[in-house]
């Protein structure tokens, strides 16, 4: 969602919910005796782009690594819509216009950039968890609460700019988006700086606040014995989430979008 704003401005398992803690899917840590020996294991953060096909490099990273669990930048509602074998019947009632525009934009970019479906990287990660009998944790804030906070706090200028960008994004040439994606790959930090300059409220609500909350949930999981975790999040979250985890004393290893994309061979955005 952050990239869309900046560029242009099997059955789902049952969910174990904790009121303020991490939400997990049915499963248990693989192996035994891992709790005492994995306390210093780094959390692996994988940075994806929701409209670029990184399924295979993400699958390889998750398959090759010894893990106690996999976590996704999803909440139960988004997971139910994304991971269900047939997404029929999911209602957008009550979803703000901006969120619906972003969803349409992501589907369009995914198709035109040759990426397949938006969110495929999350489906792959969930599939690896199922294949390896690993617990799958949903660590993001509820999407409706996040959007309600965003709309309640966005100044009028940012709100107009964001809506205008979302509408324009429905018609902007794909080649322009591909060039922006290439530019992001070369310098993600510059990209984030421009986002914060253009819409500081958007950056705070969609990136900073969620990073802190996801870090709390991951630290809680570590405390429950899930030391060897892999986490799939949007690449824009990587620096902030890594910093938030380190502030909580959690070691981190990051593999960003640039490295994952390079593993796919020639740029998919140029096809």
Q: What is the pTM of this model?
A: 0.75
Tens digit of pLDDT for each residue in 31-54? Answer: 333 434 567 899 999 998 866 778
Q: Backbone phi, then psi, for 82, in 5-degree steps?
A: -85, -40
pLDDT at site 31:
39
pLDDT at site 262:
86
pLDDT at site 19:
35
pLDDT at site 172:
56
pLDDT more than 90, % of the chain: 42
Closest CA to 145 of 49, 231, 77: 77
pLDDT at site 14:
34
pLDDT at site 165:
65
Q: Are 81 and 242 in contact (CB under 8 A)?
A: no
Q: How far apart are CA 271 and CA 267, in angstroms?
A: 7
pLDDT at site 15:
37
Per-residue pLDDT of the chain (271 residues; tens, 9 = 90+): 544 444 433 323 333 333 344 555 433 444 333 434 567 899 999 998 866 778 899 999 999 999 999 999 999 998 998 887 755 445 555 555 555 545 544 554 545 445 556 688 999 999 999 999 999 999 999 988 998 898 899 898 887 877 666 655 555 555 655 666 667 667 778 878 888 888 899 899 999 999 999 999 999 999 999 999 999 999 999 999 999 999 999 999 999 998 998 877 544 444 3
User: CA dist 144 to 1, 4, 151, 185, Å?
Assistant: 14, 18, 11, 30
pLDDT at site 17:
35
Residue indicated by tokens 């199922």: 130
Tens digit of pLDDT for each residue in 59-72? Answer: 999 999 999 999 99
pLDDT at site 50:
67
């Amino acid at each position: 969602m952050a990239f869309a704003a900046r560029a242009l401005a099997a059955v789902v398992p049952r969910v174990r919910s904790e009121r303020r803690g991490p939400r997990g899917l049915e499963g248990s840590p693989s192996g035994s005796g891992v709790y005492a020996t994995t306390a210093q294991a780094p959390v692996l953060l994988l940075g994806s782009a929701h409209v670029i096909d990184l399924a295979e490099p993400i699958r390889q990273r998750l398959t090759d690594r010894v893990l106690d669990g996999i976590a996704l930048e999803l909440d139960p509602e988004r997971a139910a819509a994304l991971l269900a074998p047939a997404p029929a019947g999911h209602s957008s009632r009550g979803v703000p216009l901006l969120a619906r525009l972003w969803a349409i934009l992501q589907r369009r970019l995914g198709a035109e950039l040759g990426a397949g479906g938006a969110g495929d990287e999350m489906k792959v990660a969930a599939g690896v968890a199922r294949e390896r009998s690993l617990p799958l944790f949903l660590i993001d804030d509820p999407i409706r609460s996040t959007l309600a906070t965003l709309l309640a706090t966005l100044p009028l200028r940012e709100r107009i700019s964001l809506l205008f960008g979302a509408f324009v994004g429905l018609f902007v040439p794909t080649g322009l988006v591909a060039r922006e994606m290439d530019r992001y790959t070369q310098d993600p930090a510059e990209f984030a700086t421009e986002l914060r300059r253009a819409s500081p409220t958007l950056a705070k609500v969609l990136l900073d606040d969620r990073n802190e909350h996801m870090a709390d949930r991951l630290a809680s999981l570590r405390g429950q014995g899930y030391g060897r975790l892999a986490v799939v999040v949007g690449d824009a979250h990587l620096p902030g989430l890594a910093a938030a985890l380190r502030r909580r004393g959690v070691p981190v290893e990051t593999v960003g979008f640039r490295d994952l994309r390079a593993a796919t061979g020639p740029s998919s955005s140029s096809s």
